[in-house]
């Protein structure tokens, strides 16, 4: 593992101090790295959320908050974010005993491109739930899961995140979606960095659209995503499952689950995407 992981370098935030208010807003300089794009010059949404989360954690600490972890995050993707220098503005909304809260926005080329809210708490590593949870998804052993096809140029994001899909989830890549509205597999950072709570904000948006298992479309833009981080993950690979809830009225929702190497459900997310289905189109047979 390198001294500083690629993820940590690419999500670094530099505190510029309070801008003056009201409201009190703290600004951070950030650099949107071309190494985390999913298409030409298009940064992955989870990557942007992780940058905002890091700034929110810093701003809450600067305001006297004691909670080091994002527990809940909501993010609205407003417009395309440009690569290169940008600013994160954080307004701390509450410093509390058990939880603190902040909102954050990414300002890129003079416009708001991402808006988010964070609730911070203190998570345990290896802590088990008092109640509830979900058993880990059944996935073939990591070595038997699909490697990215050789000879195809991968987007930079796919080179950073080693995602290996279960064979049951790879039909979409061959033009034969599975029809179950589900993708599942294994995930690691390609550079060997272990996952921590903050990086789970990236993980919950690290998979191709689950709707690809129902219908072949162009890219499916996320409008709004909510992530819950439940525990610091144990070292090692993660198992993930990404499922479609409903497709209706030009929108779809998708549900993401993440288990650590000790079988704990460590994060979930739910998102709404824009997905217009031409009238009369049948879903893939499931």
The residue ranges that bind a copy of itself (CB under 8 A) are: 23, 71-72, 74, 76, 78-79, 93-94, 98-99, 101, 103, 112, 115, 117, 119, 121-124, 127-133, 181, 214, 223-224, 226, 228, 230-231, 244-253, 265, 268, 270, 272, 274, 276-277, 281, 283
CB of 61 to a copy of itself, least distance (A): 18
Query: Which long-range contacts (C-beta less than 8 Å, at least 24 apart) are formed by 10-15?
Result: 10/35, 10/36, 10/47, 11/47, 11/50, 11/51, 11/54, 11/198, 12/54, 13/51, 13/54, 13/55, 13/58, 13/88, 15/58, 15/62
Nearer to a copy of itself, 134 or 154 (CB): 134
The 3-state DSSP class for residue 157 equals: helix
Closest alpha carbon to 274 in 121, 77, 140: 77
CB of 59 to a copy of itself, least distance (A): 15
Pairing state between β 42-43 and 69-77: unpaired
Q: In what order do the strands lie in the sheet with 100-108?
A: 14-18, 26-32, 84-94, 100-108, 111-121, 69-77, 222-229, 265-274, 251-259
Nearer to a copy of itself, 75 or 162 (CB): 75
CB of 250 to a copy of itself, least distance (A): 6
Nearer to a copy of itself, 71 or 202 (CB): 71
Distance CA(45)–CA(146), nearest Å, equals 24
CB of 37 to a copy of itself, least distance (A): 21
CB of 186 to a copy of itself, least distance (A): 23
CB of 239 to a copy of itself, least distance (A): 17
Nearer to a copy of itself, 4 or 263 (CB): 263
Nearer to a copy of itself, 27 or 265 (CB): 265
Nearer to a copy of itself, 137 or 162 (CB): 137
């Amino acid at each position: 593992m390198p001294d500083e992981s690629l993820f940590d370098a690419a999500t670094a935030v530099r505190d510029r101090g309070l801008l003056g208010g009201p409201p009190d807003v703290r600004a951070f300089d950030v650099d949107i790295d071309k190494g985390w794009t999913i298409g030409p010059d298009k940064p992955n949404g989870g990557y942007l959320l992780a940058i905002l989360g890091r700034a929110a954690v810093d701003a809450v600490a600067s305001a006297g908050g004691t909670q080091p972890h994002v527990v809940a995050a909501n993010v609205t993707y407003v417009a395309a974010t440009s690569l290169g220098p940008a600013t994160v503005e954080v307004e701390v909304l509450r410093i509390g005993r058990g939880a603190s809260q902040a909102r954050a926005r990414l300002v890129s080329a003079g416009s708001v491109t991402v808006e988010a809210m964070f609730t911070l708490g203190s998570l345990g590593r290896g802590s088990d739930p008092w109640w509830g949870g979900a058993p880990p998804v059944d996935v073939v052993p990591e070595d038997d899961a699909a490697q990215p096809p050789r000879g195809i140029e991968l987007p930079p994001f796919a080179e950073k995140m080693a995602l290996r899909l279960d064979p049951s989830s790879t039909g979409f890549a061959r033009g034969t979606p599975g029809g179950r509205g589900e993708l599942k597999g294994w995930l690691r950072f390609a550079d060997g960095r272990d996952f921590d709570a903050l990086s789970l904000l990236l993980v919950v948006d690290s998979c191709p659209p689950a709707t690809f298992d129902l219908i072949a479309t162009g890219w499916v833009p996320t409008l709004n995503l909510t992530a819950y981080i439940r525990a610091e993950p144990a070292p090692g690979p993660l198992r993930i499952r990404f499922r479609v809830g409903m497709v209706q009225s030009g929108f779809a929702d998708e549900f993401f689950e993440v288990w650590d190497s000790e079988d704990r459900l460590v994060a979930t997310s739910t998102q709404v995407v824009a997905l217009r289905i031409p009238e009369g189109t049948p879903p893939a047979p499931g």
